[in-house]
Amino acid sequence: MHRTRHLLLRTLSALALLVTGCTDGDAPPDEGSSESSGAPLGLAPVEATMLVHIYYQTPETLERLAAELDLLEHADHAEGYVAALIEPDEYERLVAEGLTVEVQQEPTSILQRMLDAGGFRSIPSYSCYRTVEETVDTMTTLDSNYSGLVELVDIGDSWDKVTAGGPDGYDLQGMVITNEAIAGPKPRFFLMGAIHAREYATAEIVIRFAEQLVEGYGTDPDATWLLDHYELHVLPQANPDGRKIAEQGYTQRKNRNTSAGSCSYPPTSSSQHGIDLNRNHSFEFGGAGTSTTACSINYRGTGANSEPETQALQSYMSSIFADQRGSGSGDPAPDDTTGLMISLHSYGELVLFPWSWSGSAAPNLAQLRTLGRKLGYHNDYAVCQWYGCLYPASGTTDDWAYGELGIAAYTMEMGTTFFQSCASFESTVAPVNLAALTTAFKAARRPYQTPSGPDAVGVAVSASPVTAGASVTLTATADDTRFDSNGWGTEPTQAVAAARYSVDHASWTGAPLTAMAASDGTFNASSEGLTATIDTSGWAPGRYLLLVEARDAAGNWGAPSGVFLDVEAAGGMVEVCGNSLDDDGDT
């Protein structure tokens, strides 16, 4: 019941927000009201794109709908409906087939009014989102301003870039972000956005996450240790050709491949040029949830990995991640697999993990679910398998990354609309998902092990700066309960059993480790206060990074969290070029 109500309320809220981008905080209309109940069966709908609930009786029907229509990331299996954008001719066809199609009157009416008035045809109406060009400019600036942390990387080319006779197209511009002064190899996290062009928020979250880490280096303890010890690889705009169309306010989903079909332009929800890049990957290509009709929203292309964008993605991920899974469909990746990939989508408020092509369990199901529930703790999204909580989809990016390479791979459906208002994006979507992505990055070294362990939170020191030789109290909380599937199962938790800290270097680098004690004297609860006394005698003046991590009773060490400790010379004396200066600058 909790899961059903959770999904239903989110669906209604999302439908009310789909096209307005300006109704943040409005409550969804009551079930059964004139706003939510929609047109009764047989009543002619408005002559425009409609947002509807389609009720289905069998999984086979849902599978067929997923291949034929522009289904949204809302499917309530308990109620037996899926949300979709459809055109009037599709409405008539579905009704003629005997399906119950419930028009969501209010969002459909708003959409029609906006289009009648000229609609929104420019992304400047959404000032919180950068265009393709602005995103590239930001990356260029970061590379210039943080040359020791940022390296630009050309991942590949867009369809227009490799096709003569049309627009110039784009490079798939990415970045590698790490402290280049510290040698690798380092664990890697690949974060990508906007493979579906109309999903504005996704590219912006990718670039903001990169900015947050780079700008926080040296001042934010977690950003600092993560970039010292890990690598972040980002591709904010995975479908730049399609995104330029979507920036005009159109619901363009696919890339801009115009080589097949006589499709609509401007694009509609039922007819648009291009290939759905998230149905074009070579792992389980051509299966359920894809279309062979060129203008369809889910058109998979003429063959597996046919598009330059998917070719670039597969080639790049293969170059940065080792293949760590066997060739058999039931072969799990080893527990110590390293590497993580997340593809950001909108909307739907979901954390999805493989498989999407099949309802069978992925070999690493339990571990994928555990990390997913760590992310769900932060963004309050439903955490579930693609196929089980939505509908089938074959040839997806996350299935390819997990299926071919064995790395932990996820699709995160953020927010409540394609054109998320800046107010709700800034207040909700960005903060909760940036927090989730930080947790994901921390797990990238051992995504199938680390998330099971306790989180170290609230790490603090009793004073900073301190004079060398002073004692400092280090405190934190070890919490083994920070999981939330939001209605899709419960994660087992254990008592905290141990904790430790290291200085400047992570535990797995061979750094000296010092045990911490339970604040109440005994490790016996799933959330424990931690404490340690640090004697700074002999410490040279400077800034130190203290990293705290904890282990649960099942033997799982969680990810570290850090705090800075600044140490000053005794008497305020600082040594400069062999001379000691006091606070007044006198020798």
Position 40 scores a pLDDT of: 32
Position 16 scores a pLDDT of: 38
In the chain the domains, ranked by start, together with CATH numbers, are 2-116 (no CATH), 123-244+307-450 (3.40.630.10), 454-574 (2.60.40.10)
* Tokens at 547, concatenated: 């990293």
In terms of Cα–Cα distance, which of 430, 437, 410, 436 is closest to 230? Answer: 437
pLDDT tens per residue across span 17-39? 343 333 333 333 333 333 333 33
pTM: 0.86
Position 35 scores a pLDDT of: 33
Which residues of the chain fall below pLDDT 50? 1-46, 114-115, 117-122, 573-587
Position 47 scores a pLDDT of: 55
Position 107 scores a pLDDT of: 63
pLDDT tens per residue across span 34-85? 333 333 333 334 457 888 889 988 888 888 888 888 777 667 777 888 888 8
Quick count: other Cβ atoms within 10 Å of Cβ 361? 16
Position 13 scores a pLDDT of: 39
Position 366 scores a pLDDT of: 98
In terms of Cα–Cα distance, which of 418, 475, 74 is closest to 252? Answer: 418
Beta strands in 391-516 (DSSP E): 408-413, 455-461, 466-467, 471-479, 496-503, 514-515
Q: How far is 189 from 341, CA to CA, in rounded Å?
A: 6
